[in-house]
Chain A
Amino acid sequence: MNSMSHEFAPVGELPEEKPVNLSRRGFLGASLGALVLGVALPGAGAKAQNAAAAAKSAPRVSAFLEIRTDSTVLLRSPFVEGGQGVATAMAQIVGEELDMDPARFTVECAPPGADYQVVGGRRFTGGSFSVRSSYETMRRVGASARQMLLQAAASRLKVPVASLTTEPGRVRHAASGRTLDYGALAADAAALPVPENVTLRADKDFRWIGKPMARLDARDKSTGKAAYAIDMQVDGMLRAAVQHAPRLDLEPGSFANEAEVKAMPGVHSIHRLPGAVAVVADRWWHARRAVEALQVTWTDAAPGTRRAMPSDFSSEGRRAQLSAAPGPGIAAETVGDAAATLKGAAKVVTATYDAPYLAHGQLEPPSALARWNEDGSLDLWVPNQAPEMFQVLAAKAAGIPPEKVKIHSPMLGGFFGRHFIYETANPFPQAILLSKAVGRPVKLIWSREEEFLRDALRPMGFVRFRAGLDAKGLPVALDAEAVGEGPRDRWFGRKPDAADGSAVEGISGKPYAIPNRRVAHVLVDDPAIIGFWRSVGHSMNDFFYETFFDEVADAGQQDPYDLRLRLLADKPRHKTLLQAVGDLSGGWKRGPFTAPDGSKRARGVAMASPFGSEVATIAEVSLRGGAVTVHDVWVAIDPGRIVNPGIIEAQVNSAVALGLSSALLEEVVYAKGVPQARNFDGYPILPPDRMPRVHVRIVESGAPMGGIGEPGLPGVPPAVANAVAALTGQRVRSLPLSKMKFGAT
């Protein structure tokens, strides 16, 4: 179960897509001599340029390919690159079918457009959906372009198409030994209709798909050349900084020192914005210093203001509220009769678990550069995971139709779910207003402190578990109530009497053979602005479930690894994976045991089924000075089929780091309606000296392709918590671990 998959048609149900030749309509003003290829459903091509209207119609798929005369390729990707490697993966997939070395590709995030709605009829970069949702489409784009190039070559050489073959970047006529570069054929190919049918390469013939190809952006990112939204510059640009109201229900009132602030170096103007004040200046530092010097009286917003933050709100209070909220909640999963089985159980285990609010902490602070043009249109450079959604809301903020807003989506300095639309958590409406007010382009950057104040948080989670064991100590019933609010229904709409998948995923949808189960969602609205955080509900729910699982195993005197194997006896895919991670770690041993360096250590295991992939994780820990040290993490991941094993390994490393960071250190604490930490000094994230060794095994089961960016995360907190419990005998039921005191071990 995955939060975003509920919202959209399963990828397998997408209608068949067919390419159309967009260069014949001059789509995107393609330069002469370039082959520009898009893919659209039959009959939908004419609407292709009317993005806003067409987006609402039947799901359509598109990708653009521009083959230049120098035989390089520009690929307009539906997805934004933010570290997950999707730009490289897209080049591999298209290059494979086009017969062109992916290293010759330049990949950009495509502008808004109906043709890019490749994720179940929508478009966003998230939910670990990118490659799996667009894989077939992108292959067809490459294959169609190749077919057109072959056709163009056949006409040029006056030979039958069947006598031609391709090799990377060119067409060959074997009989005469003649070759033609793709670049030389691109103009002719652009004039041809797109073939009705194309044959895709057989998997066994892949040269780039499935190989650990180097990332296209590694060099630029190692030499400072990679440009992010925060780096954008345009002529005549001013810079802006904001000071937000400490709470969301406050508005700027009077200024005590307006004249002095206006006289500060570089200051252009001072502005009141909804819930914030801003200074526009020549340089960002000037803007920031001035806006922070501004003494603002904040006044209470009108009663009933949407999403007002109560002045007495605290994270501690929230935890108490969740704990007190009664069930039974809305059922998300019901199998057998958990209640009756619990009544008759030989033993009942109960526990409550919680996990804190989390900040995204992506290293690039949010920014937005807005430029109004003479024709009344607006250019917006903005970090985003969903260009069309940003276009619609930017248009609203600007008071112009969406087609007058041009969205530029530079690569992201990390995202982890940060750059969706979260109302008050996005700086672009402010940049639009400021640019309009000063009549010049404005680049607004939120300081790290303002980012901590307005980030959309991973919600707090709370779960009540009850498990019933039979006389042999095996679990026969599980009852779980997940209390709180999930981000999916917050932002994509609530369905009455339906559990929010993002609140229960990782508690529901588990593969273990426990014959009686009830998983429910007890909805308690969250006063905070909540958002998607890498692996969403799984980021905490798999911790809750898999850690409770070990409690149940201990109560029934079962080894937690063996019990998992036993309850997965009928699930070959999961069983194989659990055995694979055991194998990878040198054979399952729980401990405690003494390591060669004399330290006492233990291991924990956990499984997760996030985003269409399956993952098994083992962690080894010790205690040093009362703090948990994680030495090694072993991850076996089965994404079904793969595109780039090198990127998968990197993403698993990355997910382990973030999962471990959340397990060990992270917690957003609110008091009096205000987050207490405003920078990384008060909100520590995983530093290099706490990074474990990470060992990855990729298992390709051949199941439908699953996600990669998020699945490595959810198993980490429970594997670590289970190892800590094995080592210390202390259960970990609340994160982060830094709150816990451990005796010297």
Chain B
Amino acid sequence: MDVIINGKTHQVQTEDDTPLLWVIRDELGMTGTKYGCGIAQCGACTVLIDGQATRSCITPVGSVAGQAITTIEAVTDDAVGRRVVEAWVANQVPQCGYCQSGQVMAATALLKQNPKPSEQDIAAAMVNLCRCGTYNAIAAAVRQVAQG
């Protein structure tokens, strides 16, 4: 099947029910998208599918054939994504960093859809887990982009 990732079409030979996460990581060798739980609990695997933040660990690749998938590798190709990354650096958000690809993708999806999110909007969208407890820095970085 054809999978369109970061604007490039990849011919993928795998079963339809293979999670998109493992196609991205193992089949295509792009390792920025992370595996944390595999059951839609943590959000480390968040990618954008037609602009929507989506947990790729439970998304069968067959269900997204032909849709536009964006991974962290292409986040800075997008103007909002670039601002999110700059805010992440400015706020020194990452600690171990393992959750941060997913966090950055979730923030980018939020801010593209809603450039001026309220505190409630931020809380509703930024639900990915971070075991290092960077939550306050994440919220500060999202606010910074929203205000910028």
Contact = CB atoms under 8 A, between A and B. Distances in A.
Contact of A265 (B15, B37, B42, B93): B15
Interface string A222-241: 11111110110100000100
A60 B128 CA distance: 44
B123 interface: yes
B41 interface: yes
B41 A681 contact: yes
Given A364-B36, A651-B95, A679-B41, 11 more contacts: A214-B92, A218-B89, A221-B96, A223-B73, A265-B15, A283-B22, A363-B34, A363-B99, A657-B133, A679-B39, A691-B133
A607 to B, nearest CB: 21
A688 interface: yes
B80 to A, nearest CB: 14
B104 interface: yes
B92 A363 contact: no
B35 to A, nearest CB: 7
B41 A221 contact: no
28 contacts: A83-B132, A214-B92, A215-B94, A217-B97, A222-B88, A222-B89, A224-B32, A226-B94, A239-B26, A283-B14, A283-B26, A283-B27, A362-B96, A363-B96, A363-B130, A414-B96, A414-B98, A415-B96, A448-B36, A448-B37, A448-B39, A650-B137, A653-B136, A658-B131, A661-B133, A679-B37, A685-B129, A688-B127
Interface residues of B, dominant DSSP: loop
Contact of B93 (A218, A363, A365, A687): A218
Contact of A223 (B22, B35, B41, B72): B72
A611 B94 CA distance: 24
A547 interface: no
A686 B99 CA distance: 14
A8 interface: no
A654 B134 contact: yes
Interface in A386-435: 411-416
A414 B132 contact: yes
A447 interface: yes
B69 interface: no
A717 interface: no
Interface in B8-39: 14-15, 18-19, 22, 25-27, 29, 31-39
B135 A222 contact: no
Given A284-B22, A653-B137, A691-B135, A681 B39 contact: yes
Given A221-B100, A239-B26, A285 B19 contact: yes
Contact of A225 (B32, B129, B138): B32
Contacts of B42: 363, 680
Given A219-B89, A226-B97, A688 B131 contact: no
Given A214-B89, A363-B129, A413 B98 contact: yes
A222 B136 contact: no
B105 to A, nearest CB: 9
B24 to A, nearest CB: 11
B111 interface: no
B126 interface: yes
A688 to B, nearest CB: 4
A689 interface: yes
Nearest to A225: B32
B36 A363 contact: yes
A647 to B, nearest CB: 8
A412 B133 CA distance: 15
Contacts of B139: 688
Contacts of A285: 18-19, 22, 26
B55 to A, nearest CB: 13
A226 B135 CA distance: 20
A361 interface: yes
B75 interface: yes
Contacts of B22: 283-285
A265 B34 CA distance: 23
A85 B96 contact: no
B3 interface: no
Given A218-B89, A363-B42, A448-B37, A691 B136 contact: yes
Interface in B44-95: 44, 71-73, 75-76, 85, 88-89, 92-95
A361 B37 CA distance: 10
A694 interface: yes
Contact of A448 (B38, B75, B95, B130): B38
A445 interface: yes
Contact of B123 (A228, A361, A686, A689): A689
Contacts of B127: 687-689
A82 interface: yes
Nearest to A82: B96
A419 to B, nearest CB: 12
Contacts of A231: 31
A214 B89 CA distance: 8
A411 B129 CA distance: 19
A77 to B, nearest CB: 16
A327 B74 CA distance: 62
Contacts of B137: 650, 653
Given A284-B22, A687-B127, A687-B129, A365 B35 contact: yes
Contacts of A83: 94-97, 132
B85 A362 contact: no
Contacts of B97: 83, 217, 220-222, 226, 411, 413
A740 B73 CA distance: 45
A653 B15 CA distance: 43
Contacts of B36: 363-365, 448
Contacts of B72: 223-224
Nearest to A362: B131
A343 interface: no
A275 interface: no
Interface in A652-669: 653-658, 661
Name the residue among A223, A230, A651, A686 with the largest chain B CB count within 10 angstroms: A223
A681 B39 CA distance: 8
A25 interface: no
Shortest 5 CB-CB distances between A and B: which pairs? A657-B133, A224-B32, A221-B97, A413-B98, A83-B96
A231 B36 CA distance: 12
